[in-house]
Amino acid sequence: ADPPALFKPLTIKGVEFKNRIWAAPMCQYSSQDGHATDWHFVHIGSLATRGVGSICIEATAVVPEGRISPEDAGLWTDSQIAPLKRIVEFSHAHGTKIGIQLAHAGRKASTYAPWIKDRMGHGTSWTAQVDENGWPDNTYAPSAISFHDKIYPDPKAMTEEDMKYVEDAFVAAAKRCHEVGFDFIEVHAAHGYLIHEFVSPLSNHRTDEYGGSLENRLRFPTRIVQRVREAWGHDKPLFVRISASDWAEGPEKSEDGKWLQWGIEQSTIWAGELHKQGICDFLDASSGGNWQEQKIPVKHGYQVHFSEAIKKAHPDLLVGAVGMITDPLEAEAYVKEGKADVVSLARGLLRDPHWALSAAKLLGVQVKSANQASGCRSTVSCYN
Ligand code: FNR
């Protein structure tokens, strides 16, 4: 009999993912000057031995000032390759595919790690100052609009020179990914960070060829993906994670056709464009993060309708659903019904790193032992 949809392998550009339960990227705020530490080795390693089909390493900054916090991961210099390589080799030895999310935090850079934010409480500044290893005077964005006047740094509006510098940094990081040995790269275009800031009319008020019309707002984001594709290669999996909505109040478009905020209609157009250009093999549909007053109707599977809409419009594009997916039967239904090709979990895997194994048990999938599974040394990472 056919295996359940969640446990059907998926091959993208020659890379076989053993199942469709993937670990979403999760910032650990535990890097040292952008270098992965033993914390990452243990955290990622624990997932690599427990049955997920893929792991995406956290948002990793392509330049130092593109970090969210001073403790963020980076891949802007060659010394950051070795600690990542150790993690990737461990993951591969246990039959788990692994990639990395390349990122730039834009106007949401130079802020405190979450535990410091929690200690400070809301309403006080979250900006990491220079004497706290921050760089508040070197934050930049499409327009000089702070994410929050009182809490976040004031970004400068980027020049074309700045854009070229950021693109080149994405390219340099993508080249380092070859040396690390990653299976895939994911471009972080979600959650109110630099690329999302460019696509959204709420954060992009530019009047040059990078702002205004949808075509203009997509110009720089698409160019980053194109250049990462060239550096990474057309024969290797390239993923893009988007926010499919700003979740600001009101419609995406006014009655006279003016785009008011970023939403699913523009996301679907952009997804189609990336797909048509052959520069995106898999699109992960998240949402939010770019608007302080966002109103997100959080509930189980609250973002699945985004992946479903994109899949419907572009059936040949592989799409992922993420966001409060906690129930294996619901997850199975999403994939089986074609609402997504893959489900990604973040908090569900922190609470239960064995989630994929529990799902296998519930769905009647037998877990292969180490010796039966070719090229796989772990007792828990393969299925038949
Ligand atoms: C996240 N999330 C996230 N997303 C992303 O694109 N890059 C990142 O580095 C992070 N970092 C991160 C850290 C932690 C601790 C959490 C819990 C989340 C968002 C994450 O990938 C996911 O989209 C959301 O958490 C929703 O999925 P869950 O947690 O409901 O399964």
pLDDT tens digits, 196-216:
999 999 999 999 999 999 999
Element (H, E) at 85: helix 81-93
Structure tokens at 217: 């707002």
C-alpha to C-alpha distances, 325 to 80, 176, 233, 260, 333, nearest whole angstrom: 32, 32, 32, 29, 11
Decide if pLDDT at 125 tops 50.
yes
Can you tell me the mean pLDDT for 78-85? 98
| ipTM rounded to 2 decimals | 0.99
Looking at residue 2, its pLDDT comes to: 83
Tens digits of per-residue pLDDT, 21-52? 999 999 999 999 999 999 999 999 999 999 99
Residue whose Cα lies nearest atom 13 of ligand 1: it is 26
Q: Is the CB of 101 under 6 A from ligand 1?
A: yes
Looking at residue 21, its pLDDT comes to: 98
Decide if pLDDT at 377 tops 60.
no
Q: Is the CB of 340 under 6 A from ligand 1?
A: no
Separation of alpha carbons 122 and 106, rounded Å: 21
Decide if pLDDT at 379 tops 50.
no
Decide if pLDDT at 223 tops 90.
yes
Decide if pLDDT at 123 tops 80.
no
Element (H, E) at 364: none
Ligand 1 centroid distance, CA of 375 (Å) = 30
For the CA of 344, the nearest atom of ligand 1 = 31
Separation of alpha carbons 202 and 193, rounded Å: 13
| Average pLDDT value over all residues in the chain | 94
Ligand 1 centroid distance, CA of 113 (Å) = 14
Decide if pLDDT at 61 tops 60.
yes
Q: How confident is the model at residue 369 (pLDDT cuts 50, 70, 90)?
A: low
HEC readout, 272-290:
HHHHHCCCCCEEEEECCCC
Ligand 1 centroid distance, CA of 164 (Å) = 28
Substitution site in 21, 22, 26 for ligand 1 pocket (most atoms within 8 Å of beta carbon): 26
Decide if pLDDT at 384 tops 80.
no
pTM for the full predicted model: 0.96
Looking at residue 368, its pLDDT comes to: 75
Ligand 1 centroid distance, CA of 26 (Å) = 5
Q: Is the CB of 26 under 6 A from ligand 1?
A: yes
Q: What residue type is 359 in one-letter code?
A: A
Can you tell me the mean pLDDT for 321-325? 98
Q: How confident is the model at residue 119 (pLDDT cuts 50, 70, 90)?
A: confident
Can you tell me the mean pLDDT for 169-194? 99
Give the residue from 223, 224, 204 showing the smallest Cα distance to 213: 204
C-alpha to C-alpha distances, 359 to 47, 330, 352, 355, nearest whole angstrom: 15, 11, 11, 6
Q: How confident is the model at residue 375 (pLDDT cuts 50, 70, 90)?
A: low
Question: Partners of 141 in the beta sheet?
Answer: 157
Can you tell me the mean pLDDT for 242-251? 98
Decide if pLDDT at 370 tops 60.
no
Q: Report the percentage of the chain scoring pLDDT > 70.
A: 95
Strands 318-322 and 184-189: unpaired
Tens digits of per-residue pLDDT, 258-268? 999 999 999 99
DSSP 31-84: -BTTB--HHHHHHHHHHHTTT-SEEEEEEEESSGGG-SSTT-EE-SSGGGHHHH
Give the residue from 226, 277, 284 showing the smallest Cα distance to 99: 284
* pLDDT top residue among 311 and 374: 311
Tens digits of per-residue pLDDT, 50-60? 999 999 999 99
